[in-house]
Amino acid sequence: MMTVPNEPKIRLEHVGKMFDSFVALDDLSLDIRPGEFLAIVGPSGSGKTTVLNMLAGLDRQSSGTILLDGKPIAGPGPDRGVMFQDYALFPWQTVRGNVGFGLTHGPAGAGLDRAAREARVARVIDLVNLGGAEERYPHQLSGGMRQRVALGRLIANEPEVLLMDEPLAALDAQTRLVLQDEILRIWRQDQPAAERRTVVFITHGIDEAVYLADRVVVLGSRPGRLKAIVDVDLPRPRNEATRATAAFADLSRSIWELIRDEAIRATVE
């Protein structure tokens, strides 16, 4: 996870994306710092998922440059891991099998013998608090447990960058709050940035973005354009008391005011 000091982990320079004649994203420039937790919010149609797909190498930009550690992103790679809203678990695999799938069948397990793979899987299962559920199948798990499995599978591959596309959106409100804290714990929010992975987190939830992130990128819609980058100067580690502060409420309100009109328009057009 070596990165040149003061250089961005990810750099987007004048990035645009077109689908046929539709401009999904226009002239986005952004630096993402090593070890940063960056959240992206915006109304429907603002290009949030488009950005994440390009960072993952699942799609190519129509214009501009996207660099990871100074090198162009040309496709998917083991240095980036992606977590989606719908879990994407293999129903025929147990918790253990799902968490370890990338180590057994992908490049993340290269150089590891069976004992090393099993040790890493066991460590990750413990990290995401799924001890005792190792032999259960996805249909035997709650939604929150399924998302823990998806998070464990992501972590087990040890990517340098975690790309999360609304991973908590399908969960009930209480489980969502619990897993927000779990994500911060696993990300090691109490450690220096040099000890953490870089996270790009897509969400529709403004409160969620403010609670999790170091900075919140606000996109406008049609086409997707950068409206603002909001520094979240709430102290870490964050916990339930953070949500009750005036600063938390002020940040959430200011971000909502940036996108309110476009969000309302997106519901009627």
The per-residue pLDDT for 116 is 94
Whether 120 shows a pLDDT value over 60: the answer reads: yes
Q: Strand pairing partners for 32?
A: 10
Q: What is the mean pLDDT of the chain?
A: 93
The per-residue pLDDT for 179 is 94
Stretch 207-235: mean pLDDT, rounded? 96
The band of 107, judged by pLDDT with boundaries at 50, 70 and 90, is: confident
75's tokens: 């496709």
Q: How far apart are CA 133 and CA 169, in angstroms?
A: 23
The band of 84, judged by pLDDT with boundaries at 50, 70 and 90, is: confident
Amino acid type, 232: V
Whether 232 shows a pLDDT value over 60: the answer reads: yes
136-140: long-range contacts, CB 8 A cutoff, minimum separation 24? 136/94, 136/95, 137/91, 137/92, 137/93, 137/94, 137/95, 138/87, 138/89, 138/90, 138/91, 138/93, 138/98, 139/91
Exposure string for 179-188, b = 16+ CB within 10 A, e = fewer: bbbbbbebbe
The per-residue pLDDT for 8 is 97
Task: Verify cis geometry, omega within 30 degrees of 0, for the bond prior to 91.
Answer: no
Domains observed in the chain: 1-79+161-269 (3.40.50.300), 88-158 (no CATH)
The band of 130, judged by pLDDT with boundaries at 50, 70 and 90, is: very high
Whether 109 shows a pLDDT value over 90: the answer reads: no
The per-residue pLDDT for 110 is 84
Q: How far is CA 222 from the centre of its chain?
A: 23
- 15 or 45, greater pLDDT: 15
Whole-prediction pTM:
0.93
CA dihedral 248→246→218→80, nearest 10 degrees, is -10
Range of weakest confidence among 83-87, 111-115, 199-203, 257-261: 83-87
The band of 3, judged by pLDDT with boundaries at 50, 70 and 90, is: very low
- 21 or 157, greater pLDDT: 157
Stretch 248-253: mean pLDDT, rounded? 98
Stretch 250-269: mean pLDDT, rounded? 86
Q: Are 215 and 36 in contact (CB under 8 A)?
A: yes
In three-state secondary structure terms, 217 is strand
Whether 95 shows a pLDDT value over 50: the answer reads: yes
